[in-house]
Amino acid sequence: MKKLISKSIFIFTLLLTVGEVAFAQVLEDYNPMWQEGERETWFSSNDRLILELDLETFPLAYYSFEFPDHSVVFIGEKLWFFTERDTMFNEQVTELKRVFSESKVSLTVFKNGISSEQASVMKILKSEPLGVISTSEGFFSNKRDFNRQGIRDFFIVAMISCLLLITLYKLAYPFIFAMMIKPISLLNAEDFSESGSLQKFFSGDILLYVFIVNTLLSLAMVTSMVIFRQEWLEVRMELNFTSLTVLWLLGSFLLLVLTILKFTAIRILSYLFDLGKLEFPHFFYLLRLVVIATIVLIFICAFFLLNDFSAIRIALEASFVGFFWIYISGILGLFLIMVNRLGFKKYHLFTYLCIAELVPFLILAKLVLDLGY
């Protein structure tokens, strides 16, 4: 009888052990399926790993994830979380499908110099307790939820405020508004005529117009930072309506100061190059170009924020590329206008525009690229 009981206990323990091993088995190993990506354009991500996850098969199983430190993880176009240290955790398939509402999703891991050996994804049967993200060093990494409605509320209120300012300005200064907004001025170059009326930059009407332009620019910049660098912002501030509004207003005034400094620099350079009073038509020609491009960018942001949030990242990347080349084209157009209508020497004028516009803009574009990616 004792032998029978001992054998039964042994068999029962063996079955439990076998069941434990079977329950922890790997159902699918996704590691050979990683696709490595490198920078394709100026506004694409530098290094990344891409993998397609199947959320239909084995719905009660778990995905086992391993990511290296300082990785930014996206599912589709939605930011999932940011890892400060090497991170390992498990997530149930049904939970992922509930959150992302798709049968198949694209997992993208961004990190400079990342390789497929540094990340791991497997579908397994057994999981650690849900909600815990453990790391190899015993620390924890928090998932970051993207507050879509918060950014929408901020953007709508800020955009309506900008439109209200534009409306009031049009009522107060209709002549200046009409002159500064019409695209045909980019072709007929009326600013360069002797009768050009923009000769007082530091007047209230002109400074107010420049401030309104900077509110539009600041709105586009804050929205882009939230989309591309959410985790960077969250380390420094709480992303809510109030904080984003304060950031937008501070950015508007900062851009106003930088604009005044830029105009002052253009005035000094035009004096040093003996170009006369060229700073006024030069500055306002490119300002008109910036106004038109920024308004288009704002409407693109509004459309994708309200209709297709998942595609806003791609839309902004394409918009930044377009903005870059539009401004470069504007500098080229400015060069041709000055050569044909003002009779300056080409080399003399080219040197002036490189110092005043081209080099500063390329440096700014590089800074935006580093911040955004």
- Per-residue pLDDT of 43-80, as tens digits, reads 444 578 888 988 888 888 888 888 888 788 888 878 88
The Cα angle at residue 247 between residues 243 and 249, in degrees rounded to 5 = 120
Amino acid at 126: K
Amino acid 217: pLDDT: 93
Amino acid 236: pLDDT: 76
Strands 78-83, 71-75: pairing is antiparallel
| DSSP secondary structure code for residue 108 in this structure | E
Q: Is 214 exposed, middle or buried (0-12, 13-18, 19+ CB in 10 A)?
A: buried
pTM > 0.75: no
What span, in angstroms and rounded, lies between the C-alpha atoms of 58 and 48?
27
Q: What value does the mean pLDDT take over residues 200-213?
A: 85
Amino acid 175: pLDDT: 82
Q: What value does the mean pLDDT take over residues 359-366?
A: 86
- Nearest residue to 119 (alpha-carbon basis) of 26, 34, 24: 34
9 versus 216: the higher-pLDDT residue is 216
> Structure tokens of 348?
């003399």
Most confident residue range from 6-10, 39-43, 127-131, 297-301: 297-301
Amino acid 5: pLDDT: 43
Most confident residue range from 37-41, 137-141, 189-193: 189-193
> Is the per-residue pLDDT at 183 higher than 60?
yes
Name the phi and psi angles at 84, rounded to 5. Answer: -90, -25
**Kind and range of the H or E run holding 123:** strand 120-124
> Is the per-residue pLDDT at 81 higher than 70?
yes
What span, in angstroms and rounded, lies between the C-alpha atoms of 91 and 257?
49
Instruction: With beta carbons less than 8 A apart as the criterion, state whether 120 and 64 touch.
Output: yes
Among the listed ranges 95-104, 187-196, 259-268, which one has the minimum average pLDDT value? 187-196
Amino acid at 313: R
Mean pLDDT of the chain: 77
DSSP-assigned beta bridge partners for residue 335: none
Most confident residue range from 74-78, 160-164, 276-280, 349-353: 160-164
Amino acid 199: pLDDT: 56
Amino acid at 43: F
